[in-house]
Chains A and B, each alone.
Chain A
Amino acid sequence: MTAIAVPAQETRRRFRIAASPGAWLVWGSVTFFFLMLAGIIGSVVVSSFGRRWFDTWLPESWTTQWYGQAWHEFTLLDVLIVTVEVSLLVVGISVLVGVPASYVLARRTFPGRRVVYLLFLLPILMPPITYGIPLATVLYKYGLAGHMAGVVLANLVPSIPFVILTMTPFIEQVDPAIERAARMCGARTWQVFLRILAPLLVPGILAASILVLVRTVGMFELTFLTAGPESQTLVVALYYTMSAAGIRAQQSVDAMAVIYTSMMLVLLVIALRFVNPTQLVARVKEEPQ
């Protein structure tokens, strides 16, 4: 493999010099994208530390008072606790429900398998609003919406399929011979699961949990449709303070946004220790032909 890789690199280097206008265009647009991104994030961060910022490049003076104000005014501690509780519940339930289902779908063929697979794929393919509104209506009918239970239930809809899709390749990697050996030694199904598969699947389960965690913390639509005043997560609280702008100082909204971003970045750094970035998005392609 290395013997082939070396000439390949050489051709590419030569090729890059030859096609330099294209290369300039590509790298230029990537740089442009990152400049925009830096501007977007940077302006929020700068604004959150500025005392007043009107028609100038940078704020006149710096302060951290907006963080204190955001913390008290928006009862951020409560919001953060709700966010963590909702996310952990969603992660726990979707892993418990999703992993066994994913095992069956990865290992077995049975009549109706494709229908079941499609059923699990649909919630990911549909925009959250399309099923979120009927779901919220049903949850309100049974008195579940407006509480944390409703938020958790609504967030389970995309999370369970997501766990199933992320876990499938991990399960396929486990050699079925190990399970057969365990069965020959007299292990029952639950024993095979707890003592053979679970330890082998720990990396996959961690990856799936962190991805679901990131998605749940960032999930706006479903939480927004089902949350009551006591069960808002951070994104939804952020949305409400933003859309009620004028009442609050812009900077304290920015401070809240920075708190949200830093929380997401911490989660992201943890997530990237376990998963490859391309895995974050490339998940639907394991579709059976």
Chain B
Amino acid sequence: MTALRHRLAERGVDRQLLLLVPGLLCVLTLFVYPFAYGVGLSFQPTHGGVLGAYKDFFTDAYQRDTIGTTLQLSLPAAFLNVAASVPIAYRMRGRFRGKRLLTTLLVVPITLGTVLTAEGLLNFLGPTGWLNRTLMSAGIIDAPVRLTNNYWGVFFSLVITGFPFAFLLILSYLSGIDPTLERAAATLGAGWWPRFHRITLPLLAPGLATTFCLTFVLAFSVFPSAILVGDPAGTTRVISIAAYHAAYESYDYPLASAIAVVMGVVELAVVAAVLGVRSLFYTGSTGGKG
């Protein structure tokens, strides 16, 4: 008994690991077990055999198209958020006056959450909102532009909540890159573009991939804003709405679980694809954190 304990301790197993038990127990009972239960449930539909629920989902165009709708919303939104963050963060790394104020202001939309953003977008971008009013009095447009209760409303809400998130992440990755590397390139005569494209960008690539994944996850799980500022029966019927309807309106739990599984698989596939592309580029130390 003692010998066994000694041998385990040599490999790093001892009683201190018991501290992990409460946390593991919570994750196992509240995350792994329900998820496994859901997967099991998705294979026990009321009709159509083992794969009936999946067959229902993939043969019904109204359901199947939700995957495309969600990706059409979340991929461009995540891409725009990351692409806009890079030049802005590149210019704002380093110290300048008011940086803390700026980053603080950028945290505001993250904490507003989707529901409040939706309410604000309805007021602000609506037909009689301030934006349409300004554009009309400036003579740019004649009739109000329709920006809410369609694709664009949801897209804007994803940008409002997602952009600050992407920006702060990229800013922290950029400030982790050792500035002497770029300075060395500058001494060797590299101009602004070669320095960015040959030095900073490759070092930033892992951070970009992570940021894209996290922003994508955020946008992919869009739910309240798709209902409130979107067109939940048509152009913005995203997959989470389909899952919610199956579970709480038609009480078809196998179908709801199947949709949740499909949703998880699609999301993980995109994340895996992004990380796969990233592994083709430079991997290694970035000369700093990150």
Interfacial residues, chain A to chain B (CB-CB below 8 A): 4, 8-9, 11-12, 15, 19, 22-23, 25-26, 29-30, 33-34, 36-37, 39-44, 47, 54-55, 57, 96-98, 100-101, 103-105, 108-111, 116, 119-120, 122-123, 125-131, 133-139, 153-154, 156-157, 160-161, 164, 189, 214, 218, 220-221, 224, 235, 238-239, 242-243, 253-254, 257, 260-261, 264-265, 267-268, 272, 277-278, 280-282, 284-285
Contact = CB atoms under 8 A, between A and B. Distances in A.
B87 A238 contact: no
Given A39-B124, A104-B17, A278 B172 contact: yes
Contact of B12 (A55, A109, A253): A109
A110 B172 contact: no
Given A34-B105, A44-B116, A134 B260 contact: yes
Given A44-B123, A129-B260, A134-B35, A235 B30 contact: no
Contact of B128 (A55, A103, A136): A55
B267 A126 contact: yes
A220 B16 contact: no
B124 A40 contact: yes
7 contacts: A23-B91, A33-B163, A101-B23, A134-B39, A264-B113, A268-B111, A281-B214
A157 B32 CA distance: 10
A138 B34 contact: yes
B190 interface: no
Contact of B113 (A25, A100, A218): A218
A242 B103 contact: no
A111 B13 contact: yes
A125 B267 CA distance: 9
A75 B267 CA distance: 39
B94 interface: yes
B116 A100 contact: no
Given A123-B27, A161-B27, A277-B168, 7 more contacts: A100-B20, A111-B12, A131-B34, A160-B23, A218-B113, A268-B111, A278-B172
Contacts of B11: 110-111
Interface of B is mostly: helix
Nearest to A218: B113
A125 B271 contact: yes
Contacts of A97: 22-23, 26
Nearest to B87: A26
B20 A116 contact: yes
A89 B23 CA distance: 16
A91 to B, nearest CB: 14
B84 A29 contact: yes
Contact of A278 (B168, B179, B228, B263): B168
A241 B154 CA distance: 19
A105 B27 CA distance: 15
Given A23-B91, A26-B91, A44-B119, A282 B129 contact: no
B111 A218 contact: yes
Given A54-B128, A97-B26, A138-B34, A221 B223 contact: yes
Nearest to B157: A40
A152 B94 CA distance: 41
B279 to A, nearest CB: 12
A57 B133 contact: yes
B131 A39 contact: yes
B108 A37 contact: yes
B210 interface: yes
B31 A131 contact: yes
Contacts of B22: 96-97, 100-101
